[in-house]
A and B are shown apart, each in its own frame.
Chain A
Amino acid sequence: EAGVVQSPRYKIIEKKQPVAFWCNPISGHNTLYWYLQNLGQGPELLIRYENEEAVDDSQLPKDRFSAERLKGVDSTLKIQPAELGDSAVYLCASSLSSTYEQYFGPGTRLTVT
Chain B
Amino acid sequence: SQQGEEDPQALSIQEGENATMNCSYKTSINNLQWYRQNSGRGLVHLILIRSNEREKHSGRLRVTLDTSKKSSSLLITASRAADTASYFCATVDRDDKIIFGKGTRLHILP
Contacts and interface: CB of A to CB of B under 8 A. Distances in A.
Contact of A45 (B35, B98, B102): B98
A99 B97 CA distance: 10
B100 interface: yes
B20 interface: no
Contacts of A104: 35, 42-44
B42 A101 contact: no
**Most B C-beta atoms less than 10 A away, residue of A44, A48, A104, A106:** A104
B102 A42 contact: yes
A35 B35 CA distance: 14
Interface residues of B, number: 23
A45 B48 contact: no
B48 to A, nearest CB: 5
Contacts of B97: 45, 56
Interface in A87-113: 91, 93, 98-107
Contacts of B103: 40-42
Nearest to B95: A56
Interface of A: 33, 35, 40-45, 48, 55-56, 91, 93, 98-107
